Amino acid sequence: MIKKFIMTIDGQKIEAKEGETILQVALRNCIDIPHLCAHPDTKVKANCRMCVVKIKGVNGLQTACSTPVSEGMDVETLTPEIRWARKFNLELIFGQHVEDCSVCVLDSKCDLLKYRKIYNSKMLRFPDRKINYPIYQFGPIIFDQTKCIDCRNCVEVCPTGYLELKDRGSDINIEPSADKKKDCIACGQCLVHCPVGAIKSEGEFESVKEIKKILQQKDKTVVVQFAPAIRTSIGEELGLPYGLVVTDLLTAGLRKLGFHKVFDTSVAADFTTSEEAGQAVNHIKEGKNLPVFTSCCPSWVLFIEFNYPELIKNITTVRSPEIILGGLVKSYWAEKEKIDPKKIVMVSVMPCTSKKIEIERKEMFIKGNKPVDIVLTTRELAWMLKDEKIDLEALKPELADNPFGDPSGAGVIYGASGGVMESALRTAYYRLTGENLKSVDFKEVRGQEGIKRAVIKLCKPVKTNSGECIEIKAAVVNEIKNARIILDELKKDPKKYDFVEVMACPGGCVGGGGQSLPTNSFIRSKRAASLYTIDKNKKIRLAHENPAVIKAYQEYFNDEKICKEVFHTSFHQQKKKPIGRLKRDMKDFKLIKK
Partner 1 sequence: MNIIDKIKTAKLTGRGGADFPTATKWQGVLKAHSKYPDKPVYVVCNATEGEPGIEKDKFILQNYPEKMLAGMKIAMETLGAEKGYIYLNPVYYKKFAAKLKKIIGKLPIEFFVEYGGYICGEETVLLETIEGNRSEPRLKPPFPTERGLFSCPTLVNNVETFYYVAEIADGAYQQTRFYYVGGDVKNSGVYELPIHLSIGKILDETKNSPPFEFFIQAGGGASGEILTSGELDIPLKGAGSIIVYNFKKTKTLLLIKNWVEFFYKSNCGKCAPCREGFFRLRQLLKCRQLNIALLRALVQTMKDASFCPLGRSIWLPTVGLLEKIGLNNKK
Interface contacts to partner 1, rule CB under 8 A: 44, 46-50, 52, 60-61, 66, 81-82, 84-86, 88-89, 92-93, 95-96, 126, 129, 149-150, 165, 167-172
Q: Does 65 bind ligand FES (CB under 6 A)?
A: yes
Sign of CA dihedral 382, 388, 391, 397: negative
Instruction: State the binding partner of 60 from partner 1, ligand FES, ligand SF4, none, CB within 5 to 8 A by kind.
Output: partner 1
The smaller minimum CB distance to ligand FES, of residues 35 and 370, is found at 35
Residue 323 CA, chain-centre distance (Å), reads 17
The smaller minimum CB distance to ligand SF4, of residues 174 and 323, is found at 174
Residue 442 CA, chain-centre distance (Å), reads 23
Angle between helix 560-567 and 321-328 (nearest 10)? 120
Q: Minimum Å distance from CB 47 to ligand FES?
A: 6
The smaller minimum CB distance to partner 1, of residues 58 and 455, is found at 58
Residue pair 186/298 in contact (Cβ under 8 Å)? The answer is yes
Q: Does 527 bind ligand FES (CB under 6 A)?
A: no
Q: Does 77 bind ligand FES (CB under 6 A)?
A: no
Rounded distance between C-alpha atoms, residue 141 and residue 269, angstroms: 26
Instruction: State the binding partner of 528 from partner 1, ligand FES, ligand SF4, none, CB within 5 to 8 A by kind.
Output: none
Binding site for ligand SF4 (CB under 6 A): 141, 148-154, 157-160, 162-163, 174, 184-190, 193-194, 196, 198-199, 297, 299, 351-352, 354, 503-505, 508-509, 512-513
Instruction: State the binding partner of 35 from ligand SF4, partner 1, ligand FES, none, CB within 5 to 8 A by kind.
Output: ligand FES
For the chain, first and last CA: distance in Å?
59
Residue pair 283/276 in contact (Cβ under 8 Å)? The answer is no
Q: Which of 14, 22, 35, 211 binds ligand FES (CB under 6 A)?
A: 35
Cα dihedral 100/106/108/114 (nearest 10)? -80
Instruction: State the binding partner of 189 from ligand SF4, ligand FES, partner 1, none, CB within 5 to 8 A by kind.
Output: ligand SF4
The smaller minimum CB distance to ligand FES, of residues 49 and 319, is found at 49
The smaller minimum CB distance to ligand SF4, of residues 92 and 529, is found at 92
Exposure class string for 27-44: b at 16+ Cβ within 10 A, else e: beeebebbbbbbbebbee
Q: Minimum Å distance from CB 9 to ligand FES?
A: 15
Rounded distance between C-alpha atoms, residue 124 and residue 144, angstroms: 19
Element (H, E) at 549: helix 547-555
**φ, ψ for residue 507, nearest 5 deg:** 80, 0
Q: Minimum Å distance from CB 430 to ligand SF4?
A: 25
Exposure class string for 485-507: b at 16+ Cβ within 10 A, else e: ebbeebeeeeebbbbbbbbbbbb
Q: Which residues bind ligand FES (CB under 6 A)?
A: 35-38, 46-51, 63, 65
